[in-house]
Structure 1
């Protein structure tokens, strides 16, 4: 198929998936021809097997590289691909108008439209995401989701060399990867291309925020709600109001926030944002452990949750009272210490206690899950006392953020090959096992009683157990009698603590 036929099929596919209308084809095609340095268009009459947009896009980039139009390294290819896709994209105002036209009739239809647009535009690169290894592991807390993240491409040697040679440009535009100014931004070395990126304005708690989808979608309709203003993450009463205000508008989505301090927070603390989506995590399915009442909040049901981390679940039809109750717990936790269970709210003036909150609507009631967090470190646990401990670092060393808290492990790509070597070690086959896995692999060898047909499932299950251990490490109140007694002490103390508005 020659380049003209590739362009023809590319525009045909854009019409088919409703990125553009038939009346936009000539205009869009001419934009692509210009980017490719073509001055004419002469497709053949031959009928070719239909290809998907990502494959056609790769063909167009290959042509551009072969003809000296695009450099052959990762960022240059991403920038060029994003520019080509943008020729098939509606303007941001058109996307917003279509979204809210659909929203008037059905919020689900609105988000379906936007999610499909984000995939069809190759902003969400599904061909890469489908490479991820995903499975579930059954535990006493329900089925945990395990993902080995293979969707992020490795940097090629040319890209690495360029990053070394070129001094980073002195620019703060966009200020970060989540700023609204990323919409339509061409990209540069070290900053991703976003020409084909679109965001939807959403008002929550009388503030302007923006809805987009994560380009990495770790679960169904993995979305991000980001603040218009570039400001630091902060968990507060307003956080709860925004989260619940969002699920009031989009009741088919949950939404949550990473914690706002290092170690227990996410990878981006410099821009206030939340993550949500249309997915039920294991934590959402987890049952109540014990219920209790607070006389100050008669419209709210309170419970703890059977989960490896320490979770308070609040339910009510009254959003306002739910926000006030959540804030009362937050204010109490921020200054709460209990030496008997190694919880200290401060080291000098440095605060350690915060919350990872998650909101959802279930039937007629709103739910607010409050996961208690503490980021204190010690000589023994220098990465965090309530953080995955050293004996699980060979599987999970990174922070336990919002997604992990809810029961989905995002594990590093290195495990794809490393676990194969672990399997070979357990089977007494020749192997190149990484020494970091050796103590664990020795344990597995002693406990494994199956055959080579069983080994992969066995190791997968053991990886799930390691992730569960990481969650237990991150839990501030352990699941033993001493830990649960401490949890109840905090609950009893919290009822006496006023919220920030009283």
Structure 2
């Protein structure tokens, strides 16, 4: 601030100057790797990750203060955040365009060549080498994380996103080394996955998400794998959880479910594994953690089919909820942590003010007519501002819960059970 006041540079140039200065002050990547390994050897993987995270906050790559400013609350069994820094991408084409790098170097925003790269203001970016399945990957923290120690694990080779049998082993390799983290993978298809589909990567961090803690609706076993249990989750989306202390059983059972799902057709329930042109529409999003029960591999069933009624996706947030959330539902939100657009702070402030003053819904926020009607019914004339604010938060949680219901490929838990039973699973 003092430098801009003195006229040394314009305010909008501040971040670039800060990146340059902190990049010079930041440790050499090789030295940082050595330090990480020393801490890991002495105190374990989780302590080393905490040290690395604190370093990335200290050198200003991770904007922790920005994360702490984001409104965050729990509602309807979900965690809802309003991200004040993240731009809103309402469709995957726009998101993908935002993650492309003109000129071809680096090939995308998550390539390893971005580490310390001045051309992308990544001078302070530092990464950590990780071996998954005998392959070279690396970990980096997200500058504007959605939760504690949020980061991505990226294939060192620029290769497209995919989920196959090896994916499950990769996720387990990571949580074996960092047992307090979760690591998961977006569905490798547009509209239901991440915005960077051209480069294979996983997402995770040091905070368990609501779906990891979801209750069990019913449990099943497969005769060939008696040491593994598959639980249908009591969750608005369609998800199961494979639990075992035997990592090979986790991999085998997860892959049995994956292979069956990506080829599954069910006209009665509107599920087609491929579109009319033969393009695959079904995919699985896995997410691994370690608990006292052993390994837990959550599997989220996704499908990106479209229709005339739902051109953005049949199993996407339906249009009546777009004022709250129109962006695709990726891995993090499918697990119950919603990232809502920053515009909602002002828009819902207008809604709250109108409710407090007993006015009609203002024209500038007329798109919130659904939420307005439900809030009016809930409040029943109550104009207490704190009650209104809490009602708005409850309404946001309710909408997010319904959006997850939109993404569910099986609308009834019994249909998920029928699918598992068709693979030979029996109720436990």
* TM-score, scaled to structure 2: 0.91
Contact 2:244 2:250 in 1 (8 A): yes
1:455 pairs with one of 378, 381, 388: 388
Change (3 A) 1:111 1:451: same
- Offset of residue 71 of structure 1: 5.1
Q: State the alpha-carbon separation in 1 of the partners of residues 102 and 317 from structure 2.
A: 36
Which structure is higher in RCO with an 8 Å CA cutoff and minimum separation 6? 2
Q: Alpha-carbon deviation of 1:387?
A: 0.6
* Matching residue of 1:37: none
Q: For structure 1, which segment, 196-205 or 341-350, has the greater mean C-alpha deviation from structure 2 after superposition? A: 341-350
Match of 2:263 in 1: 335
Partner-residue secondary structure (3-state), 1:211: strand
Gaps of 5+ in 2: 89-99
> Which residue in 1 is equivalent to 2:191?
263
Whether 1:473 aligns to 2:382 is: no
| 1:116 to 2:54 alignment | yes
| Per-residue Cα deviation, 1:83-108 (whole angstroms, up to 9, x for no partner) | 11112211000110011111113112
- SS in structure 1 of the partner of residue 39 of structure 2: helix
Query: Match for residue 414 of structure 2?
Result: 485
1:444 aligns with 2:385: no
Q: Secondary structure at the match of 2:230?
A: strand
Q: Alpha carbons of 1:303 and 1:420: their partners in 2 closer, same or farther (altered >3 Å)?
A: same
Contact 1:425 1:433 in 2 (8 A): no
Cα displacement string for residues 101-131 of structure 1 (whole angstroms, at most 9, x for unaligned residues):
1111311220011000010111011232222
Q: Any idea what the Cα deviations from partners look like across 1:221-268, whole Å, max 9, x if unmatched?
A: 112111101111101111111001100111111111111001111111
The alignment's C-alpha RMSD in Å is 1.9
Contact 1:224 1:274 in 2 (8 A): yes
Quote the Cα distance in structure 1 between the aligned partners of 2:115 and 2:198.
18
Residue 359 (str. 1) matches residue 296 (str. 2) = no
Instruction: Measure how far apart 1:169 and its partner are.
Output: 8.8
Residue of structure 2 equivalent to 1:66: 7
2:129 corresponds to 1:201? yes
The yes-or-no answer on 1:289 pairing with 2:221 is: no
Aligned with 1:374 (options 303, 322, 339): 303
Per the alignment, residue 140 of structure 2 pairs with 212
Relative distance call for 1:169 and 1:438 in structure 2 (3 A) is closer
Residue in 1 aligned with 2:67? 129
Question: Aligned pair count?
Answer: 408
After TM superposition, give the deviation of residue 72 of structure 1 in Å: 4.7
| Alpha-carbon distance change, 100 to 134 in structure 1, aligned in 2, over 3 angstroms | same
Summarize the Cα distance change of 1:462–1:151 in structure 2 as closer, same or farther, 3 Å threshold. Answer: same
What pairs up with 1:128-277 in 2 under 5 angstroms? 128-137=66-75, 139=76, 143-152=77-86, 171-187=103-119, 191=120, 193-277=121-205
TM norm structure 1: 0.78
SS of residue in 2 equivalent to 1:300:
strand
Secondary structure in 2 aligned to 1:127?
Answer: helix
Tell me how far apart the structure 2 counterparts of residues 310 and 194 of structure 1 sit (CA, whole Å): 38
User: Cα distance, 1:493 vs. partner?
Assistant: 2.0
> How far apart are 1:346 and its partner, in Å?
1.1
* Structure 2 match to 1:165: none
Determine the structure 2 residue equivalent to 1:21.
none
CA gap 1:299/1:59 in 2 versus in 1, 3 angstroms: farther
- The alignment status of 1:403 with 2:371, answered yes or no, reads no
Distance in 2 between residues matched to 1:221 and 1:235, nearest whole Å: 24
Does the Cα contact within 8 Å between 2:232 and 2:417 map onto a contact in 1?
no
Deviation digits for residues 315-372 of structure 1, max 9, x if unmatched? Answer: 1111122111111111100110111111111113111110111000002500100011
Partner of 1:28: none
For 1:163-218, what per-residue CA distance to the aligned partner results, in whole angstroms no more than 9, with x for missing partners?
A: xxxxx99511111110000100113xxx4x11011001010110110011111121
Distance of aligned partners of 1:364 and 1:136 in 2 relative to their CA distance in 1, 3 Å threshold: closer
Contact 1:131 1:151 in 2 (8 A): no
Q: Which has the greater radius of gyration?
A: 1
Q: By how many angstroms is 1:377 displaced?
A: 0.6
Structure 1 unmatched runs, 5+: 1-57, 155-167, 497-502
Shift of 1:81: 1.3
Which string of whole-angstrom CA distances, capped at 9 and with x for unpartnered residues, describes residues 448-475 of structure 1?
Answer: 1333231111111101100111101001
For each residue in 1:132-155, what CA deviation from the matched residue of structure 2 results, as whole angstroms up to 9, or x when unmatched? 111111x2xxx311111113489x
1:104 to 15, 23, 41: 41
Which range moved further: 437-446 or 101-110?
A: 437-446
Distance 1:169 1:108, change over 3 A: closer
